[in-house]
């Protein structure tokens, strides 16, 4: 029975891949292949430079390598063909950044503008190709269960004490890109440690993608369980230029102005939602 199911699944995957490449067309396939080669060369050449610099940098913290990450992410967005629009300025104080999570491209978009360190679910560490990049760039990995909450608060405190600006997605997962879903407040608890409580701020950031012409509004979103990441990536790489991502950096919110994690999470969610709707309306009115 298991062999039969395996054959059926393999057949379905092959059929889905064949339909996908047929729909892409020759020009789309060539565009995808060319961009993919450039993208991989940029990322992994950048990784080599990153690791060489890291050999000399590590005793002194991360003073130089975050700039390499920024350059690689900026170049990657150029290769993908995604135009960036930004409003507001990233804050330079001690604390964190929170954003909605409409696409896997958010990592490139947010890293290209600001020196930040992502907070990610622990299983990403083992993802082929992506895990090594996440580890090298200082990603903070967490377990999404209550039993680990005290330990994770300690790790948050350590990184914030070092002056790292952390970024996490309170929605907890990628969305369809058409709305902001309610923020989970769990990770906000780490900012109420007495030692840092008065010093920390959190900057809400809104991220909105406008699809290329003749593509569905959720084109850049990867949220369906039945769509493989490779399929999603090749779809983006095969598309013509014309996509736009708008990021809005809201005024930082002082942690000390709120009594608990839930109130703080709600305030951040409200700020992101307001700017997301404004971006959605403004970009939809542009042909």
What is 84-148 written as a DSSP string? EEEES----SSEEEEE----TTHHHHHHHHS--EEEEEGGGGGSTTHHHHHHHTT-EEE--SGGG
Q: Look at residue 15 and tell me if it is in a domain.
A: no
How many structural domains comprise the chain?
Answer: 1
Q: Does residue 11 fall inside a structural domain?
A: no
Is 123 a domain residue?
Answer: yes
Q: Which two tokens stand for residue 23?
A: 């729909």
Find, among 123, 127, 185, 117, the residue nearest to 156 by Cα. 117
Domain encompassing residue 125: 26-284
Indicate if the pLDDT at residue 6 is higher than 70: no
46 and 39 Cβ atoms separated by less than 8 Å = no
> What mean pLDDT is predicted for residues 98-124?
87
Of residues 149 and 255, the one with the higher pLDDT is 255
Q: How many CA atoms lie within 13 A of 269 on its CB side?
A: 17
Distances (CA, A) of 180 to 154, 174, 206, 266: 29, 10, 9, 12
Residue 19 lies in a domain: no
Q: Is residue 241 part of a domain?
A: yes
For residue range 10-37, what is the model confidence (pLDDT) as tens digits?
555 555 556 656 566 778 889 999 999 9
Q: What is the pLDDT of residues 236-245, one digit of tens each?
A: 898 888 899 9
Q: What is the pLDDT of residue 145?
A: 61
Q: Is residue 37 in a domain?
A: yes
CATH number at residue 235: 3.40.1130
Q: Is residue 7 part of a domain?
A: no
Residue 13 lies in a domain: no
Confidence (pTM): 0.84
């Amino acid at each position: 029975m298991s062999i039969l199911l395996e054959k059926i699944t393999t057949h379905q995957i092959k059929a889905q891949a064949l339909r996908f490449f047929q729909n892409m067309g020759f020009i789309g396939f060539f565009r995808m292949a060319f961009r993919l080669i450039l993208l991989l060369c940029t990322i992994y050449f950048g990784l080599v430079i990153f690791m060489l610099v890291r050999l000399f940098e590590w005793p002194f913290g991360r003073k130089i390598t975050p700039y390499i990450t920024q350059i690689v992410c900026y170049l990657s967005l150029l290769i993908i063909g995604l135009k960036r629009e930004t409003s507001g300025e990233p804050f330079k104080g001690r604390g964190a950044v929170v954003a909605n999570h409409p696409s896997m491209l958010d990592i490139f978009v947010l890293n290209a503008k600001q020196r930040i360190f992502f907070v990610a679910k622990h299983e990403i560490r083992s993802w082929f190709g992506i895990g090594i990049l996440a580890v090298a760039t200082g990603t903070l990995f967490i377990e999404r269960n209550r039993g680990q909450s005290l330990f994770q608060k300690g790790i948050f405190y350590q990184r914030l004490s070092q002056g790292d600006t952390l970024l996490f997605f309170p929605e907890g997962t990628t969305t369809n890109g058409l709305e902001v879903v309610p923020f989970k407040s769990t990770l906000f608890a780490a900012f109420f440690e007495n030692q840092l409580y008065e010093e920390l701020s959190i900057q809400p950031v809104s991220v909105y993608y406008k699809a290329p012409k003749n593509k569905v509004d959720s084109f850049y979103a990867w949220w369906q369980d039945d769509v493989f990441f490779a399929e999603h990536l090749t779809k983006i790489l095969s598309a013509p230029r014309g996509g736009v991502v708008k990021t809005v950096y809201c005024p930082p919110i002082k942690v000390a102005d709120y009594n608990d994690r839930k109130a703080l999470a709600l305030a951040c969610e409200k700020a992101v939602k307001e700017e997301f709707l404004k971006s959605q309306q403004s970009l939809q009115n542009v042909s």
